[in-house]
Each structure stands twice: as structure tokens, then as C-alpha cells.
Amino acid sequence: MILTVTRACDLRCAYCPTAKDGWPSLTPADARRAVSLFADQYGGGDLKLFGGEPLLVPEVVRAAMEAARSRPEIRRVYLSTNGLGLTPDWIAYLRGYRKGILTISMDGSPEDHRRMRRAQPGVADAYDHLMALRPQLRTLTRLVITQTIPPTTAGRAADNLRHLLSLGFFRFNLLPGYYIPWKAHQLTALAASFDAIQDLITARWRSGRHFYLRNLFTRAPTPFFNTGFVVDADRTIHPSNIGLSGTLDHLRSQTAIGTLDAPPSPAALADKAATVNGLLEANLSEKVWQSTLAVDAELTRLCRSLYPALRAYRRRRGAA
């Protein structure tokens, strides 16, 4: 289940297409209702808490996590955040939450992070905030850093990963910019950076150092967006969260298939999911769609190039 608890966000990242303004947020009761539906009607699985910025409505996040805690049908709970809402109390809570996986979005070096992540007036510096919490964050055993890679920093992606590694993080998810146009030289730079990242990761594994890359263990029918039981911030239900994008917001009327009060059957949800890729191709500009496919192909190429090294690393660890 993908639970978009709010569309509100305290950053205006240069590459983020999410429509943010003028939306309601879910209530704690909505969150509990969605978790119950997911477990009872759809069989459960993983729960992903998204925004906007989820921690702008901490009571909704906490309600969803507590509802999921006691349901054996829900295996893992992912909380994706820009980190500004994290506090020592939140980190302590997550440390004791056995199903939880915290995912923090970062861009790399402080210069690139600040350049890309434009704060709303009165909002703290996101990089400085995370660095202040770094000692506590490193105590979390299930923390993943999502390294975002927009076109303008594609050539520095390997250096930005090295910087994040130098901070003591070693669990990552790579997220190049989807559903935005890329120029040819930017795609070339991304390919070169992914080659350098492949060398970096392989070298770490050969030397016995740990490195986890979530991309190696995920596969989705739609680039970037999530498919499943999707509850948007207005309580509508969809088979995909493609409507998060402001440029695709008009497709929500075609993907909507119920509400928390009138949910669809699992079969109806699956049938609607089969229409999503066709909607994307028909409604995106040729440049954006081809850029998205090209970026996704480069990320797929990186993953495929790493599988032999991952198998060798696991064999060495097993032998040891």
C-alpha cells in the first residue's frame, strides 16, 4: 500500500514534479482505516508512507505505523522523508519500531543538496539539520539514503555518493530524475557516473565492506511511480500514484477507482493498474517520456552489471 498522507511540503526541490498546494491531508482515522483495508481486503504486504513531506502531519504517520504494528499481514513500513521533521524522539521511536525502514532523500554534497532543495520561507537548512542528527541516525539499522540525481548533477553522481559514504551511510537507493526532460549530454554524464558507481560499489564488496543498494531488489511495472493499493491525500483510491505529478494530475479522474468509504475489489484494482502505462505514454510529451525510459534503462543497466559482483560478495561472506 502507498499512503500519501499529505501533499504539503516544506521544500520546493528543483526536480520534484509533485503537486503540493491546495490539497487536504489524511486524518489519523483515515490512516487507520486504510491500514485495516489493506490488511483485511487486499492481503497486506509492505506499507509505504509518502508525501509531500509525511512528517508535516506526524500524527497521521504515527497512527498508520501504530495500526500496522499489530497486523501480521503488514511486513514492513517505509517512511520516506526529506528529514526536516526528524527529531531525536522520532529517531528513538523508529529505533524501537521493528517493521520500520526510514528513507531520507539527499542529493550528496552540501553544495548540491542546498542548490537543489529550495526551502520554503522560515524553513531550516535541510543539510545542516540532518548533519546535526547524524550520530543518532547512524544508530538506525534500517536507514536508507535515497540519493536523488537530477540532470544538472548527473555528472557528479559518483562524487556525491562518495560524499554520502564519507558521512557513514552505506544503505542507498539511487533515484535519477524521472518525468522531466534530459538533454543528450546529461544522459551521457549519467551513464558515465553509473559506470563509476559500479566500480565504487564493486570495490567495496571485493574488500569486504558492506554496501546495500535497494534498487537491486526492486522491480516495478511503471518507472518511478508505485503500483498497488494507493490512497491519495484526498482519500481516493488508485492503482498507481502517477497523479502525484502536477503534470499528470488530470489523470487522477481516470485512475480513481474508489474511496476509503467505497473501496474497489482487488480484481478491479488490478484491472485498472493495467491501464497506467498507456495513460502515461499518451499524456506525456515525447521528450519527457523518452527521457524517462532512457534514465530507467541506465539504472537497469547499472543493476544488471552489479548482480555478478553481489553474488560473489555473498559467497565470500558465506564462506567466512
CATH number of the domain bearing residue 222: 3.20.20.70
According to the model, what pLDDT value does residue 62 have?
98
Residue 93 lies in a domain: yes
Domain with 25, as residue range(s), is 2-197+211-297
For the chain, what is the radius of gyration of the CA atoms?
A: 19
According to the model, what pLDDT value does residue 108 have?
96
Average of per-residue pLDDT values in the chain: 93
Residue 157 lies in a domain: yes
According to the model, what pLDDT value does residue 94 have?
97
Tally of structural domains, the chain? 1
All three cell numbers of 266, joined, read 482487488
Residue 318 lies in a domain: no
* Cβ contact 76:99 at 8 Å: yes
According to the model, what pLDDT value does residue 106 have?
95
What are all long-range contacts of 129-135, with beta carbons under 8 Å and residues at least 24 apart? 129/83, 129/84, 129/86, 130/83, 130/86, 130/104, 130/106, 131/167, 133/83, 133/86, 133/87, 133/88, 133/91, 134/167, 134/168
Among 245, 235, 234, smallest CA distance to 276 is for 245
Is pTM beyond 0.95? Reply is no
According to the model, what pLDDT value does residue 170 have?
96
* Cβ contact 222:240 at 8 Å: yes
According to the model, what pLDDT value does residue 87 have?
97
Residue 204 lies in a domain: no
Residue 304 lies in a domain: no
Residue with cell 544538472: 152
According to the model, what pLDDT value does residue 179 have?
87
Residue 141 lies in a domain: yes
According to the model, what pLDDT value does residue 223 have?
78
According to the model, what pLDDT value does residue 13 have?
87
Residue 82 lies in a domain: yes
| Residues in the chain where the model's pLDDT stays below 70 | 19-20, 320
3-30 pLDDT per residue, tens = 999 999 999 888 887 766 778 999 999 9
**How many Å apart are CA 297 and CA 191, to the nearest integer?**
10
**How many Å apart are CA 232 and CA 199, to the nearest integer?**
39
Residue 302 lies in a domain: no
